Amino acid sequence: MKVANKLLLTGAAGGLGKVLRETLKPYCDVIRLSDKAAMEPAKAGEEVIQADLANAAEVNAMVEGCDAIIHMGGISVEAPFEAIMQANILGVYNLYEAARKHGVKRVIFASSNHVIGFYKQSETITVDSAPRPDGYYGLSKAYGEDLSRYYFDRYGIETVCLRIGSSFPKPRDRRMLCTYLSYDDLLRLLVASLSAPAVGHSIIYGVSDNPVTWWDNSGARHIGYKPQDSSAVFREEVYANTATPDPKDPAAIYQGGAFVKANP
């Protein structure tokens, strides 16, 4: 099923971007790949554009001609505010302004679980729970969620904000048993977000069907996302290879894990 004629993927040189470069190809006629960093040359059905999200002119050229955007670009870890501001705050503004100018009507925004990182691991929250960012990175993603809502209310650009948990080949620690999102489920989530008839402005947790979770993801039903993978198959391996967390450690108390005490 084609979800776009020309699909823009930002952050294509990153870890998830490299995975999605291959897995998204069957779902569009052309995939345009963009990043500030250098990328491999374009293959069949690809376009490669190097662009700095903080540069409005470069972002405008990056978006022109595309009919849907998956925005994975920007800084994905805690960092000094000045760097976060350029890539994640000014960058997402430039992206939505370019989308408005070029008539793009649907954006998938890679938000983060760090928007709500200061909720405790003993709590279960919904997408309607108030944001509680755990750092500058989480703050920037909360800003992106608000900005995308404004562009929907004002200009009708639909956005699915994906609060991605931990998307790796397998969970790396005990916290990730709760936040794990497989690569296949990430693809299912993106395809559902792009193909649903109407999404308005939606916030959805990017997580697989894990047996223990802190997030009520019932709000994902309207786009048809049904995760098929689970962290359960990794549970014994993770427990055998990791130490029991210190219950007094903030990283074991709060959902954001080590981000709640990161020093930018």
User: Burial letters for 73-86: b for 16+ Cβ neighbours within 10 Å, e otherwise?
Assistant: bbbbebbeeeebbb
The backbone torsions φ and ψ at residue 240, rounded to the nearest 5 degrees and listed phi first, read -70, -25
Output DSSP code: residue 69.
E
Tokens of 246: 């210190």
Concerning whether 137 is annotated as a catalytic residue, the answer is yes
Other beta carbons within 10 angstroms of residue 200's beta carbon come to 13
The backbone torsions φ and ψ at residue 228, rounded to the nearest 5 degrees and listed phi first, read -115, -5
- Classify residue 103 as exposed, middle or buried by CB count within 10 Å of its CB (0-12, 13-18, 19+): exposed
Q: CA-CA distances (angstroms) from residue 199 to 65, 171, 212, 217?
A: 22, 30, 27, 15
Q: Of the listed 137, 143, 180, 254, which one is catalytic?
A: 137
Calpha distance 166→168 (Å, rounded): 6
Tokens of 11: 């952050």
In one-letter notation, the amino acid at residue 125 is I
Residues assigned a catalytic role: 137
